[in-house]
Amino acid sequence: MDAFENEIRKLLKKETDIEIQIEVPKNESLGDYAVPCFEFSKQLKKSPSVIATEISEKLSSELFEKIIPTGPYINFFINPEKLSEETLKKIEKEKEEYGKSSEGKHQKIMIEFSSPNTNKPLHLGHVRNMLIGESLSRIYEKTGHEVVRGCLVNDRGVHICKSMLAYRRWGHHKLPDKKSDHFVGDFYVKFAKEVKEDESLDVKAQDMLRLWEAGDKETHELWKKMNDWVYEGFDETYKSLGIKFDKIYYESKIYEKAKEIAVESLKEGIFENDDKGNIIAPLKKYGFGEDKVVLRKDGTTVYITQDIYLAKKKFEDYKLDKSFYVVGSEQNLHFQQLFKILEMIKITKIENLKHVSYGMVNLPEGKMKSREGTVVDADDLVFEVVSLAKEEVNQRYNDLSEKEIEERSRKIGIGAIKFFILKMDASKDMVYNPKESVSFDGETGPYVQYAYARINSIFEKGDVKKLHHKIDYSLYDDKEKQVIKKIKEYPNIVSSSMKQFKPSLVARYLLDLSQMFNEYYHSHQILKESEELKNARLHLLDAIRIVIKDGLNLLGIDAVERM
Ligand code: ARG
């Protein structure tokens, strides 16, 4: 709550002991805040609009220039000078803590993301997944939650046996001669190609899975060797994108235990047997299209079995309050079923679970496909975009050392990918355009990074080390007041992006703020003004720079000090 809302509560406390609601009107002509009077009306037995009129006449405060009734509402118009003062003082005090809140009340949540299979390298879809997962983690931390970054690795199953089988047949005991997850992925692709000619390969992959399940030594050795290659490769990709996990779960370590939980729930009468002898969760009676098999008659597990056990384990391991999953929208039904089942077996309530569902990412050229080996690989993508960023950097600056060019292109390139993907509403399919994303103009990461760097360069040029504390707030003109109003919005944006699971709100906000800065800088001088005015303007720029840096950080993007 900010100083203005506090003041409204204080003012109204004198008039009524009813719990008041403070709303933000959609229409600016209705002021900055509105308090509806319907509740008072019930108690005071007068019409809401009469009460709104009576009360607003009695209220006055130097924080508001106007307090007036509009129908059943009391509208509050902030005194712009006070708005400047309160906002800028707050930022100056809080610095990068600005926008932080304790809404999360130290609730512990796990956000699971990435969660790859180990038969092939990470692709563009994983990139979107990881960026959303990491950004939400940061947004949830900023709003006072304790976040555990989790990952499930699906490291067993027939898909992995396919790469193993292909390696055994055509790999000739070769060691990786390229990034090792790509090396393994090539065998998965090879299998997909060969099986078109020879269907018996599918049967052989199934045989291999049975051997694996029976604990066959040779099969396990090969499995371990190839998975380790994959992990080595994943780690490199994670590192390039700044992704780290607090906890990694492996399907191979949990899937046996998942069987027990299905059998127990059957005994307790929560699950049932169907006429084929499978164990099912009876979901039909809760409005689902069909019941869900959770353990097959022959005792083998299905995809959801591991998730039931894993969910329970997560809550137990970390004493979680909530558990979120960043997983593609093709698994929407899976998570609806899972969450209902978790409620049935009393792991937690549905409201503590969230599937953060996201759409497909395509490149302008067309769709990504994995089996044919034309997948848009995450590493290739990073490489390509960093190269494009390098072209931009080389074009703009010719006085940089090779090392500086490398570093700057990396920050700009990676920032470009992250920003372009995160500015899109996660639930929708999207097209990622590499060329567009690295442009310094338009709705891009570099555009925002550039605004930040520009502010830095103004401070450098003016050789400003320290600002005078005292600001003459009356010096701010309308344009400046608008910018300050935008800055005041930031904590609300962070809060909404948390509640709505939408990093895109932060990205959109940063675009608006950067654009406002650019316009402002275009029309206002900074360093050549009188000391007083210069000081006021530099304070404003400093506030913008703090917010941009923090907003970028919430998206997992590094600000670039010089650009
Ligand atoms: N590895 C799975 C896949 O690639 C996604 C796992 C998602 N997480 C989960 N707990 N089910 O489709």
> CATH no. for residue 532?
1.10.730.10
Let me know whether 530 and 417 are in one domain.
yes
**pLDDT at residue 366 in the model:** 56
In this prediction, residue 466 carries a pLDDT of 82
pLDDT of residue 1: 65
Which pLDDT score, from 0 to 100, does residue 371 have?
A: 41
On whether both 399 and 539 belong to a single domain, the answer is yes
Confidence of residue 242 (pLDDT cuts 50, 70, 90): very high
| Ligand 1 atom closest to the CA of 307, numbered from 1 | 10
Domain that holds residue 20: 3-78
**Does any ligand 1 atom lie closer than 6 A to the CB of residue 356?**
no
Instruction: Judge if the beta carbon of residue 152 lies within 6 A of ligand 1.
Output: yes
Whether 79 lines ligand 1, by a CB cut-off of 6 Å, is no
Residue 154 — very low, low, confident or very high, per pLDDT cuts 50/70/90?
very high
- Whether 154 lines ligand 1, by a CB cut-off of 6 Å, is yes
- Judge if 276 and 404 occupy the same domain: no
Closest atom of ligand 1 to CA, residue 335: 11
Confidence of residue 467 (pLDDT cuts 50, 70, 90): confident
- Where among 56, 78, 100 does a domain terminate? 78
In DSSP terms, which residues pair with 117 in a beta bridge? 154
Express the helix, strand and coil content of the chain in percent, nearest 5 each: 60, 10, 30
Residue nearest to atom 6 of ligand 1 (CA): 115
Residue 190 lies in a domain: no
Mean pLDDT value across residues 221-250: 98
d(CA 348, CA 108): 14
CA distance 156 to 181: 16
The finding on whether 325 has its CB within 6 A of some atom of ligand 1 is yes
Q: From the CB of 119, is ligand 1 less than 6 Å away?
A: no
Residues 291 and 420 in one domain: no
pLDDT tens digits, one per residue of 298-356: 998 899 999 999 999 999 999 999 999 999 999 999 999 999 999 999 999 999 999 99
501 and 396 belong to one structural domain: yes
Q: How far is the CA of 303 from the centre of ligand 1 (A)?
A: 9
Answer yes or no: is pLDDT of 372 > 70: no
User: For the residues of 531-551, what is the DSSP string, one character each?
Assistant: HHHHHHHHHHHHHHHHHHHHH
Q: Is residue 416 part of a domain?
A: yes
Distance 106 CA to ligand 1 centre (A): 27
Model confidence over 250-298: pLDDT tens digits? 999 998 888 999 999 999 999 999 999 999 999 999 999 999 999 999 9
**384 within a domain of the structure (yes/no):** no
Structural domain contains residue 84 = no
Tell me how far apart the 2 most distant CA atoms of the chain are, in Å.
Answer: 89
Q: Is ligand 1 within 6 A of the CB of residue 118?
A: no
Amino acid 17: pLDDT: 85
pLDDT tops 50 at residue 225:
yes
The mean pLDDT value of the chain amounts to: 94
Residue 70 has pLDDT above 60, yes or no: yes
Given a cut of 90, whether residue 40 has pLDDT beyond it is: no
CA of 117 to the centre of ligand 1 (A): 8
More confident residue, 232 or 1: 232
> E-strand spans in 202-260?
247-250
- Index of the ligand 1 atom closest to the CA of residue 154: 1
CA of 158 to the centre of ligand 1 (A): 15
Kind of pairing between the strands at 108-112 and 146-153: parallel
Residue of 129, 149, 152, 330 best suited for mutating to test ligand 1, as the one with most atoms within 8 Å of CB:
152
Residue 538 lies in a domain: yes
Q: Is the pLDDT of residue 392 over 60?
A: yes
- The span from the CA of 38 to the CA of 442, in Å, is 45
pLDDT at 368: 45
Judged against a pLDDT cut of 90, whether residue 138 lies above it is answered with: yes
Between the CA of 112 and the centroid of ligand 1 the distance, in Å, is 9
Strand intervals (E) in 138-253? 146-153, 247-250
User: Is residue 25 situated within a structural domain?
Assistant: yes
- Give distance in angstroms: CA of 27 to centre of ligand 1: 43
Q: Which of 300, 328, 351 is the last residue of a domain?
A: 300
For 420-439, the pLDDT digits (tens) are 999 999 999 999 999 999 99
CA of 539 to the centre of ligand 1 (A): 47
Give the residue-averaged pLDDT of 146-166. Answer: 97
Q: How confident is the model at residue 364 (pLDDT cuts 50, 70, 90)?
A: confident
Residue 16 lies in a domain: yes
Question: Total structural domains in the chain?
Answer: 3
Average pLDDT on 410-422 reads: 98
Rounded to the nearest angstrom, the distance between the alpha carbon of 140 and the centre of ligand 1 is 22
Same domain, 446 and 549: yes
Q: What is the pLDDT of residue 41?
A: 83
User: Residue 45 has what pLDDT?
Assistant: 86
Total-model pTM? 0.94
397 & 518 share domain: yes
| Domain final position from 21, 44, 78 | 78
* Confidence check: pLDDT of 68 > 70: yes
Q: How far is the CA of 490 from the centre of ligand 1 (A)?
A: 34
How many CA atoms lie less than 13 Å away from 13 in the CB half-sphere?
A: 6
Q: With CA atoms as reference, report the closest residue to 476 among 518, 528, 539.
A: 539
The verdict on the CB of residue 117 being under 6 Å from ligand 1 is yes
Distance 156 CA to ligand 1 centre (A): 12
Which pLDDT score is estimated for 157? 93
Residue 97 lies in a domain: no
Residue 409: predicted pLDDT: 96
**Atom 10 of ligand 1, residue of closest alpha carbon:** 307
Task: Please give the pLDDT value at position 469.
Answer: 79
Report the pLDDT value the prediction gives residue 129, as an integer from 0 to 100.
Answer: 98
